[in-house]
């Protein structure tokens, strides 16, 4: 009675959960996507936007692997901009304002229409496991109402809902999002299974009624004249675009905040968990950047059919009366009506060094984590993890390796490697500076990096692959044609490498040969030519990294038996259990000397044979599956 059988169960239907469920289903798994409220599938809990610096690259990577986010924002976006367009191509990052509800409904529609995927409204209260040959394995979940879902793989994407508390001034209420509840059952299950569970904090700003804003006192921020889509499958974006607006705080606002810090939960001790350093509350900004006399605020419409406006840049957990006074001091907002007050949320997360590079937990086979449960922040980071976890769950059930993406291949690879190798001490946010190979990981070439991989795994369908192959053929044709032309005595492809020369300059000289190639193809050929030297140098670094990655560390390697290895190295290597020397070298605190000692034991058969077996009660005994 009340028993349901699936291949993969995904718990939570936010940005991580929907990508996880869709990815597993694309790979042929029978999937159940369980959420406490069907009306919030794919909901944008915070800002109504997708993309941004580094985040836009991630969305294009999700799309290149057949994910949902890119096509959905293209269909429901209301403003599109390419950030850092005056900088080099490695810094270009697409961003779009979303029609918040339209985005949510489109995600839900896509999930409902996905074959092999059942969307169910259920509140998960416990995790079901069994022990086989000393290994803990997931077998399903228990939901409220004495019902049970059984599967060999479970992906947890619980967002901010685990034992969540919302703070607005001194007022505290249980809930992971305004108007919604919280859950403690999953946290208790994770603790029972031996996982380390900690607390993080995030926040959100007030939302205003647009008709009460005086836009004449603000600066307009329009979208791009020639907006670019996120998805490689999108031919046309919705029109017209909707502008955003810019205003600023001032010294009067800062003085009000300073006068009320004794009522701010972050400063009274009411909130003790760590928040995102790179997305601070307005209280933090005023305290940390005391010398600044103003902070920029973006007024972002939440959709075409609503008057609600998101005030980006003023996240706060100050009391309601202080938020009311604060708005009255900001140019353009003097008479603005607050429709929703800002608040902070504290919630449980699991430090991600408890995971493998394919996001399966080391201690419970078949259990995967993705999204804010891993200590990240942002829709895009969550979506990337969800796709990797969902795909890995389905692949593992097929007897294959989980999906591991290298740092040299995608920002998604950088994200996951940072999480599982280094852990987190604050909510993790992606930046271009985190990617050492960012010249190769541009937003314009995500399909060239990932679509073939997605197709080989079954994540990418034939129509997308056909379009991708046609693009590759066109790039090859344009590159070959360019190489046959000359500008004076210089081959055209070498002439194009000059900083001041553009594709258009070459076309002007050879319109009959190059004039018919689309701008997308021309851009790829131009970037390939201009940055070939930089990319060649980065490829040398990648090759060196790959040689270290070839040095596999045995699954049950006993670090404690290496007498000369430092105690810190033993502890960190034993906890994280790196797969190879490349990953081991990126663990914080691990030195080249430590790596040399491990390498000696790996490559010297005599030392390896003398190494004692890893005991069952060793702190290093964490099965990496």
Contact (Cβ atoms closer than 8 angstroms) between residue 322 and residue 270 = no
Do 363 and 426 share a domain, yes or no?
yes
CA atoms within 13 A on the CB side of 238: 19
- Write out pLDDT tens, residues 49-90: 999 999 999 999 999 999 999 999 999 999 999 999 999 898
Query: How much is the pTM?
Result: 0.93
Do 390 and 512 share a domain, yes or no?
no
CATH at residue 474: 1.10.10.1800
d(CA 609, CA 425) in angstroms, rounded, equals 38
Q: Is the pLDDT of residue 107 over 90?
A: yes
- Write out pLDDT tens, residues 479-500: 999 999 999 999 999 999 999 9
pLDDT (0 to 100) of residue 480: 96
pLDDT > 70: percent of the chain = 97
Helix axes 446-457, 462-484, angle to 10 degrees: 140
Mean pLDDT across the chain: 94
**Domain presence at residue 448:** yes
CATH at residue 563: 1.10.150.570
Do 38 and 123 share a domain, yes or no?
yes
**Domain presence at residue 622:** no
Q: How confident is the model at residue 119 (pLDDT cuts 50, 70, 90)?
A: very high
d(CA 77, CA 125) in angstroms, rounded, equals 36
**Domain presence at residue 93:** yes
CA dihedral 410, 414, 417, 421 (to 10 degrees): 160
Do 402 and 433 share a domain, yes or no?
yes
Instruction: Among 433, 456, 479, give the residue marking a domain's end.
Output: 456
**Domain presence at residue 186:** yes
- Write out pLDDT tens, residues 12-58: 999 999 999 999 999 999 999 999 999 999 999 999 999 999 999 99
Judge residue 502's burial from the number of C-beta atoms within 10 Å of its C-beta, 0-12 exposed, 13-18 middle, 19 or more buried.
Answer: middle
**Domain presence at residue 545:** no
pLDDT (0 to 100) of residue 624: 37
d(CA 66, CA 450) in angstroms, rounded, equals 10
Q: For residue 83, what are the β-bridge partners?
A: 93
- Write out pLDDT tens, residues 517-536: 999 999 999 999 999 998 99
Do 467 and 387 share a domain, yes or no?
no
Do 377 and 281 share a domain, yes or no?
no
Edge-to-edge strand ranges of the sheet holding 8-11: 117-121, 31-35, 8-11, 153-156, 367-369
CATH at residue 144: 3.50.50.60
Q: How many CB atoms lie within 10 A of CB 176?
A: 24
Closest CA to 379 of 47, 26, 27: 47
pLDDT (0 to 100) of residue 331: 98
Place of tokens 């996951």: 416
Edge-to-edge strand ranges of the sheet holding 207-209: 219-221, 244-248, 296-301, 308-312, 207-209, 338-340
- Write out pLDDT tens, residues 156-202: 999 999 999 999 999 999 998 888 888 889 999 999 999 999 999 99
**Domain presence at residue 215:** yes
Instruction: Among 456, 477, 497, give the residue marking a domain's end.
Output: 456
Q: Is the pLDDT of residue 441 over 70?
A: yes
Q: Greater confidence, 621 or 215?
A: 215
pLDDT (0 to 100) of residue 623: 37
Do 255 and 326 share a domain, yes or no?
yes
3-state class (DSSP) for residue 465: helix
**Domain presence at residue 171:** yes
End-to-end CA, the chain: 33
- The one-character DSSP state at 617 is T
Helix axes 15-26, 379-397, angle to 10 degrees: 30
Contact (Cβ atoms closer than 8 angstroms) between residue 58 and residue 384 = yes
Instruction: Among 346, 367, 394, give the residue marking a domain's end.
Output: 346
Average pLDDT over residues 224-242: 95
CATH at residue 323: 2.40.30.260
Do 555 and 526 share a domain, yes or no?
no
Average pLDDT over residues 587-615: 81
Closest CA to 221 of 40, 78, 42: 78
3-state class (DSSP) for residue 82: strand
Q: For residue 220, what are the β-bridge partners?
A: 245
pLDDT (0 to 100) of residue 1: 72
d(CA 621, CA 130) in angstroms, rounded, equals 19
What is the number of structural domains in the chain? Answer: 4
d(CA 117, CA 115) in angstroms, rounded, equals 5
Q: How confident is the model at residue 609 (pLDDT cuts 50, 70, 90)?
A: low
φ/ψ of residue 412, rounded to 5: -60, -40
Do 44 and 140 share a domain, yes or no?
yes
d(CA 266, CA 415) in angstroms, rounded, equals 28
pLDDT (0 to 100) of residue 616: 47
pLDDT (0 to 100) of residue 614: 67
Do 589 and 447 share a domain, yes or no?
no
* Secondary structure (DSSP) of 343-360: EEEEEEE--GGGB-TTSB
Q: Is the pLDDT of residue 105 over 60?
A: yes
pLDDT (0 to 100) of residue 625: 33
- Write out pLDDT tens, residues 292-334: 999 999 999 999 999 999 999 999 999 999 999 999 999 999 9
Do 412 and 466 share a domain, yes or no?
no
d(CA 461, CA 122) in angstroms, rounded, equals 31
Average pLDDT over residues 455-466: 98
Place of tokens 């073939």: 452
Q: Is the pLDDT of residue 621 over 60?
A: no
d(CA 351, CA 373) in angstroms, rounded, equals 8
Do 32 and 141 share a domain, yes or no?
yes
d(CA 476, CA 365) in angstroms, rounded, equals 44
- Write out pLDDT tens, residues 552-586: 998 888 999 888 899 999 999 999 999 999 999 99
* Secondary structure (DSSP) of 102-124: HHHHHHHHHHHTSTTEEEEE--E
Q: Token pair for residue 129?
A: 């496991």
Q: Which residue range is the domain that position 278 belongs to?
A: 207-346
């Amino acid at each position: 009675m009340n028993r349901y059988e699936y291949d993969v169960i995904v718990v939570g239907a936010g940005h991580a959960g929907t990508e996880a469920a869709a990815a597993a289903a694309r790979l042929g798994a029978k999937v159940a996507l369980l959420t406490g409220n069907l009306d919030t599938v794919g909901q944008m809990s915070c800002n109504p936007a997708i993309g941004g610096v580094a985040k836009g690259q991630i969305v294009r990577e999700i799309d290149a692997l057949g994910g949902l986010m890119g096509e959905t924002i293209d269909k429901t976006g209301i403003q599109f901009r390419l950030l850092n367009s005056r900088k080099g191509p490695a810094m270009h990052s697409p961003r779009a304002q979303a029609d918040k509800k339209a985005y949510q409904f489109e995600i839900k529609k896509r999930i409902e229409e996905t074959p092999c995927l059942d969307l169910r409204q259920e509140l998960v209260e416990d995790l079901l496991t069994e022990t086989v040959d000393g290994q803990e394995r997931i077998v399903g979940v228990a939901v409220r109402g004495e019902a049970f879902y059984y599967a060999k793989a479970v992906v947890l994407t619980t967002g901010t809902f685990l034992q969540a508390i919302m703070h607005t001034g001194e007022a505290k209420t249980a809930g992971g999002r305004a108007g919604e509840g919280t859950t403690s059952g999953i946290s208790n299950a994770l603790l029972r299974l031996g996982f380390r569970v900690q607390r993080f904090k995030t926040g959100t700003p007030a939302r205003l009624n647009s008709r009460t804003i005086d836009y004449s006192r603000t600066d307009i921020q329009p979208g791009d004249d020639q907006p670019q889509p996120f998805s490689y499958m999108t031919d046309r974006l919705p029109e017209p675009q909707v502008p955003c607006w810019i205003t600023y705080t001032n010294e009067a606002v800062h003085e009000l905040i300073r006068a009320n810090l004794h009522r701010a939960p972050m400063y009274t001790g009411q909130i003790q968990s760590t928040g995102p350093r790179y997305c601070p509350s307005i209280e933090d900004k005023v305290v940390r950047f005391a010398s600044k006399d103003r902070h920029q605020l973006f007024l972002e419409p939440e959709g075409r059919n609503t008057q609600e406006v998101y005030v980006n840049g003023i996240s706060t957990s100050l009391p309601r009366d202080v938020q009311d006074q604060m708005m009255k001091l900001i140019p353009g907002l003097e008479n603005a009506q607050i429709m929703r007050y800002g608040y902070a949320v504290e919630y449980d997360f699991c430090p991600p060094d408890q995971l493998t590079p394919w996001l399966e937990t080391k201690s419970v086979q078949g259990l995967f984590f993705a999204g804010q449960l891993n200590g990240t922040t942002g829709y895009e980071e969550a979506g990337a993890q969800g796709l990797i976890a969902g795909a890995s769950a389905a692949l593992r059930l097929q007897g294959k390796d989980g999906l591991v993406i290298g740092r040299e291949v995608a920002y998604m690879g950088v994200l996951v490697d940072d999480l599982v190798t280094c852990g987190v001490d604050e909510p993790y946010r992606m930046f271009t500076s985190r990617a050492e190979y960012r010249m190769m990981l541009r937003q314009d070439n995500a399909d060239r990096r990932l679509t073939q991989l997605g197709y080989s795994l079954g994540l990418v369908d034939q129509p997308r692959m056909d379009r991708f192959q046609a693009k590759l053929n066109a790039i090859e044709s344009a590159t070959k044609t360019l190489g046959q032309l000359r500008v004076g005595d210089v081959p055209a492809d070498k002439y194009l490498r000059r900083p001041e020369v553009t594709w258009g300059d070459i076309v002007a000289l050879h319109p009959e040969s190059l004039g018919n190639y689309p701008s997308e193809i021309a851009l790829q050929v131009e970037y390939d030519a201009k940055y070939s030297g930089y990319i060649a140098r980065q490829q040398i670094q990648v090759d060196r990294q790959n040689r270290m990655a070839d040095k596999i560390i045995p699954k049950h390697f006993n670090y404690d038996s290496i007498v000369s290895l430092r105690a810190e190295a033993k502890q960190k290597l034993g906890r994280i259990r790196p797969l190879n020397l490349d990953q081991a070298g990126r663990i914080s605190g691990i030195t080249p000397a430590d790596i040399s000692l491990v390498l000696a034991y790996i490559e010297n058969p005599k030392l390896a044979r003398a190494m004692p077996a890893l005991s069952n009660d060793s702190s290093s005994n964490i099965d990496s599956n």
